Amino acid sequence: MVPLTGDGCGVSVLILTLNEERNIERCLRSVHWSNDVVVLDSGSVDATIERAARFSNVRIVERAFTDYADQRNFGLQGIRYRNRWLFVLDADEEASEALGDELAGVAASGSNRLVYLVRRHVVLHGKVLRHNLTSTFWIERMLIPGAVRYYGAVHEKLQFNGECGRLHGRILHHQFDNGIDDWFRRRIRYARLENAATDATGPSYRGPLSRRILLKRIFRKLPARWAVYFIFNLIVSRAYLDGKEGVRYIWLEARSQYLANRCGRERV
């Protein structure tokens, strides 16, 4: 058993898993401060559950997967948590120490907001990348479970009323740790799901979330969008400041944009 440290900090954690034996222990170590971590597994056949069960602050819930929004909504509505606040983390991510401290501060403050936003840094070959468009995007990760709901088959968004807060601490995203080929396969699968759901509608947003959604809609309509992405990140975001890893990352993203565009033309 990996012992629980800290007093729980007033924040529960939800992590969705499927065959994440390579990532799950790093992810769980990063939320050692929580007294209530739920791993919602959708049928792993590797050592994910065995490794998660070693942590004394972890509960494991198993449920068949339908789509991302449905699974996350079950995590919000179908599970009872020990704390008022919930932090949502992916298995290939880790919460920085600074972010953990911030989450505890919000929980102790008595904030009346329903949602807090956070940003991520991608990690490639062990290097944290700070100079790219991805690092500027805000995502909804700290929330009150009973007051919000997800929609969207993939890259799901959160529906809620009121203003959201922002956190300065970062999530570190180890999205390449299962290999470049696996990453490309996932990106193509996500593109196919997005193409199938192009006509789906969702709630409107203000502030940083609306900026991200608007940029994505505009970007999808651009010719040679993969080239636009690469040039923008290289020159405007100055990805070269992260060295060869920074340039390689934006090239991989540009390549995935090219393949996603092909999926869009095929309407798979």
pLDDT reported for residue 6: 46
DSSP reduced 3-state for 227: helix
pLDDT reported for residue 118: 97
3-state SS, 2-53, equals ECCCCCECCEEEEEEECCCCCCHHHHHHCCCCECCEEEEECCCCCCHHHHHC
Q: Taking Cα atoms as reference points, which of 117, 143, 148, 116 lies closest to residue 11?
A: 143
Bigger pLDDT: 5 vs 158:
158
Helix (H) or strand (E) holding 164: none
- Euclidean distance between CA atoms 16 and 53, whole angstroms: 14
Binning pLDDT at 50, 70 and 90, where does residue 262 land?
confident
Backbone angles phi, psi at 124, to 5 degrees: -130, 125
pLDDT higher than 90, residue 221 = no
- Euclidean distance between CA atoms 14 and 2, whole angstroms: 18
DSSP reduced 3-state for 185: helix
- Euclidean distance between CA atoms 230 and 56, whole angstroms: 44
Structure tokens that stand for 197 in this block: 């759901």
**Burial classification of residue 103, based on how many CB atoms lie within 10 Å of its CB (0-12 exposed, 13-18 middle, 19 or more buried):** buried
Backbone angles phi, psi at 186, to 5 degrees: -65, -40
What percentage of the chain reaches a pLDDT higher than 90?
Answer: 69
What percentage of the chain reaches a pLDDT higher than 70?
Answer: 83
- Euclidean distance between CA atoms 91 and 28, whole angstroms: 8
Binning pLDDT at 50, 70 and 90, where does residue 187 land?
confident
pLDDT higher than 60, residue 116 = yes
pLDDT reported for residue 216: 63
pLDDT reported for residue 188: 83
Binning pLDDT at 50, 70 and 90, where does residue 259 land?
confident
Residue pLDDT, tens place only, 58-91: 999 999 999 889 999 999 999 999 999 999 999 9
DSSP reduced 3-state for 132: coil
Q: Please check whether residue 143 is in contact with residue 114, taking contact to mean a CB–CB distance below 8 angstroms.
A: yes
Residue pLDDT, tens place only, 144-184: 999 999 987 667 889 998 889 999 999 999 999 989 999 99
pLDDT reported for residue 193: 73
pLDDT reported for residue 255: 93
pLDDT higher than 70, residue 201 = no
DSSP reduced 3-state for 59: strand
Helices 243-266 and 225-235: crossing angle in degrees, nearest 10, is 160
- Mean pLDDT over all residues of the chain? 88
Report which residue type is found at 246: G
Residue pLDDT, tens place only, 12-58: 999 999 999 999 999 999 999 999 999 999 999 999 999 999 999 99
DSSP 83: S
Q: Taking Cα atoms as reference points, which of 127, 123, 163, 157 lies closest to residue 140?
A: 157
